[in-house]
Amino acid sequence: MSKSVDSLLQEIRAHPRWAVLTGAGVSAASGIPTYRDHAGLWLGSQPIQHQEFLEDALKRRRYWTRSVFGWPRVAQAKPNATHAAIANLELAGRVAGVITQNVDRLHQAAGSRNVIDLHGRLDKVRCLQCHSVTDRSDMQGRLLSLNALPEASTLELRPDGDANLPPAFETDFRVPTCLRCEGVLMPEVVFFGGSVPTERVEACFKLIDSADGLLVIGTSLTVYSGFRFCRHAHQLGKPLVILNKGSTRADELSQSRYTDNPFQLLIQCANALCGDQAETCHA
């Protein structure tokens, strides 16, 4: 069922401060591919699993071979109007904070201040042995210095800084180790099959506890990682409002759903609410 911007405005105004949960759909307009379509169906091949990355050097090499091509798109991506709308709603006092399943840091770039990166951040790399953290841009420089890469213009880019490459490109690819201890380097993200750190999950629950409702934007909620927060809000008796082009796992728990042009509805709603408190908002 689709609703109008007036309906969404009424719902947001009825509750002072909302927690926001976002997914890959929010970043699609910034040029970052999504793992799933609007119906939650998987696009492309399955990603590397957490345990595979930890235990299999060939799988790690496969990841970095693709990442060296996919990273520039993420690094150069800019926030879009939906990111800006959410940031403006926070500045207007309507959003208490954002829980994002994305790893691109575009909410922060748009001006959102209270953001929990549920699945980590792609712009950092951590050593699994000494736990030192470096910038992904530094890792990119090391990858490029060690490897002669083929032309990337015709490659299919995939989510989270990944790219789909023929297996032949992986054979001679060299992966840097930690400069401090020569340990294995891993992006600072939660891979599929991995666990979100407990303290991060608890911070998400606390954000929902302190908010008056939960807005879900641009995610099918297929994985439990994000769905649990919808269930938590529902159990607390707080309104759950979903803005997504397709169905979601939490549809039956929601107070209302907006499926027709949901991002545009949010943008229009944010503009109207910023009109209420124009001095706190920015473009």
119 is catalytic: yes
Residue 279 has pLDDT above 80, yes or no: no
Residues 6+ apart with CB under 8 A from 250: 216, 221, 227, 230, 231, 234, 240, 242
State whether residue 268 is helix, strand or coil.
Answer: helix
Residue 174 has pLDDT above 80, yes or no: yes
Q: What is the mean pLDDT of residues 17-22?
A: 98
Task: Specify whether the CB–CB gap between 262 and 5 falls below 8 A.
Answer: no
DSSP 43-108: -SSPPPBHHHHHH-HHHHHHHHHHHHHHHHHHHH----HHHHHHHHHHHTT-EEEEEES--S-HHH
Q: E-strand spans in 89-164?
A: 95-100, 115-117, 120-127, 133-135, 156-158, 162-164
Residue 281 has pLDDT above 80, yes or no: no
Residue 25 has pLDDT above 70, yes or no: yes
pLDDT tens per residue across span 54-77: 999 999 998 999 899 889 989 999
Residue 96 has pLDDT above 90, yes or no: yes
CA 102 – CA 99 distance, rounded (Å): 9
What does DSSP say about strands 162-164 and 156-158: parallel, antiparallel, or unpaired?
Answer: antiparallel
CA 101 – CA 252 distance, rounded (Å): 21
CA 136 to chain CA mean position, Å? 17
pLDDT tens per residue across span 118-151: 999 999 999 999 999 999 999 999 999 999 887 6
CA 206 – CA 152 distance, rounded (Å): 43
Global pTM reads 0.90
Q: The dihedral of CA 187, 193, 195, 196: what is its sign?
A: positive
In the set 50, 107, 119, 232, the catalytic residue is 119
CA 82 – CA 85 distance, rounded (Å): 5
pLDDT tens per residue across span 181-238: 999 999 999 998 899 999 999 999 999 999 999 999 999 999 899 999 999 999 999 9
CA 106 – CA 217 distance, rounded (Å): 14
Amino acid letter at 156?
Answer: E
φ and ψ at 6, to 5 degrees?
Answer: -65, -40
Domains by residue range for the chain, with CATH? 1-32+79-119+195-283 (3.40.50.1220), 41-76+123-189 (3.30.1600)
Count of other CB atoms within 10 angstroms of residue 132: 14
pLDDT tens per residue across span 41-53: 544 556 789 999 9
Residue 240 has pLDDT above 80, yes or no: yes
Count of other CB atoms within 10 angstroms of residue 282: 11
Greater confidence (44 vs 32) lies with 32
Cα distances from 160 to residues 47, 77, 199, 230, 280, in angstroms, run 10, 12, 23, 24, 32
